[in-house]
Amino acid sequence: MMSLPSSVLFCCNHNSVRSPMAEGLMKIHIGNKIYVQSAGVASDREIDGFSISVCNEVGVHLIQHKARSFVEMEELGEDLNGYDLIIALSPVAEQIARETTMNNAVEVEFWDITDPTALGETRDEKLNAYRNVRDELIVRIKTRFPLQAD
């Protein structure tokens, strides 16, 4: 069985939809076995209300999440090179993560997760698009980070 990394950073474009969902879902799945954070290329948006709603449905509470960018992380003393694994959820985030960490032993994975923000016309359609992203993240997290019996 693959050994678990000690730290994981999820990243996407704005740290307002996919990466905070992944961070919250991962923390519920893995507990405190792995240090988990999220960031975005930019942090120009607040946490998305649909993300909050669909995560609440599965017991993940994102209401306190503050979007932050890679630059803001580094200003807080959190270097991207300090993570064992960076999981990029958008092509732009993957590119920046790879460029930033290319001289260091940081594993970068790309998960092609749809950005749900442009999907759906009605509230129900939008919620369903976000639920699909949430459920896909749950499957990817459980597959990538299988829990071992203690």
pLDDT per position as a tens digit, 69-121: 888 888 888 888 889 999 999 999 999 999 988 888 899 999 999 999 999 99
Contact 85, 9 (CB under 8 A): yes
CATH architecture of 9-144: 3-Layer(aba) Sandwich (3.40)
d(CA 69, CA 39): 5
Instruction: Name the phi and psi angles at 119, rounded to 5.
Output: -95, 145
User: Is residue 1 predicted with pLDDT exceeding 70?
Assistant: no
User: Is residue 139 predicted with pLDDT exceeding 90?
Assistant: yes
